[in-house]
């Protein structure tokens, strides 16, 4: 069984059993934020700030819960009601996405880059070149972009580049 795969080194993509998972709007942006901070809790307050910024209403906490629910339905369509969610997990003070490092392209990139640097330091040039090429092959464009867009923007209109930089080490 092929695990769900998350790609953020280019347009955000999710693949489940070799099929793309369609996401749009706030659930897509929520997923991007959670993937940048994979396996770490992002507070609800921070999520609200990133997703709605100054336009947040008094009911935004409920809106966030609805957004999480839509994301969960997209990622876990066969989830049994009442069972614990395995991917998007509520954990005080917010939410996290619970994935293996192999499921996220950026961690595969980091692993391959580290292997390449180690091979280079050991004088194994062919292995280093192969690992660097494989790592660079994971890049499909500007991180977290929508096709035809420059970068994901949060509600304030500023590119989320700072957010991307926090979680993604780009090749030098």
**Per the domain annotation, does 133 fall within a domain?**
no
Q: How far apart are CA 48 and CA 60, in angstroms?
A: 7
Sign, CA torsion 26/27/32/35:
positive
Reported confidence tier of residue 166, pLDDT bands at 50, 70, 90: very low
Residue 28 lies in a domain: yes
What is the domain count for the chain? 1
What is the domain extent for residue 79?
A: 5-100+141-167
Q: Considering the domain boundaries, does residue 92 fall inside one?
A: yes
Instruction: Tell me the CATH number at 55.
Output: 1.10.10.10
Is the residue at 159 inside a domain? Answer: yes
Tell whether 125 is covered by a domain.
Answer: no
Residue 132 domain-assigned (yes or no): no
pLDDT in tens, 38-71: 999 999 999 999 999 988 899 999 999 999 999 9
89-100 tens-digit pLDDT: 999 999 999 999
Residue 39 lies in a domain: yes
Establish if 122 belongs to a structural domain.
Answer: no
């Amino acid at each position: 069984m092929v695990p769900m795969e998350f790609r953020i080194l280019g347009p955000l993509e999710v693949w489940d059993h070799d099929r793309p998972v369609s996401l749009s709007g706030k659930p897509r942006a929520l997923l991007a934020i959670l993937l940048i901070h994979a396996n770490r809790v992002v507070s609800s307050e921070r999520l609200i700030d990133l997703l709605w910024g100054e336009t947040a209403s008094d009911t935004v906490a409920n809106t966030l819960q609805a957004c999480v629910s839509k994301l969960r339905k997209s990622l876990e369509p066969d989830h049994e009601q009442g069972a614990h969610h395995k991917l998007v997990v509520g954990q005080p003070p917010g939410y996290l996405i619970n994935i293996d490092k192999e499921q996220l392209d950026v961690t595969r990139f980091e692993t391959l880059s580290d292997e390449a640097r180690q091979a280079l330091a050991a004088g194994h040039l062919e292995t280093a070149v192969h690992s660097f090429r494989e790592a660079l092959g994971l890049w499909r464009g500007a991180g977290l972009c929508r096709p035809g867009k420059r970068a994901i923007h949060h509600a304030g209109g500023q590119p989320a580049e700072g957010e991307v930089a926090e979680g993604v080490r780009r090749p030098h």
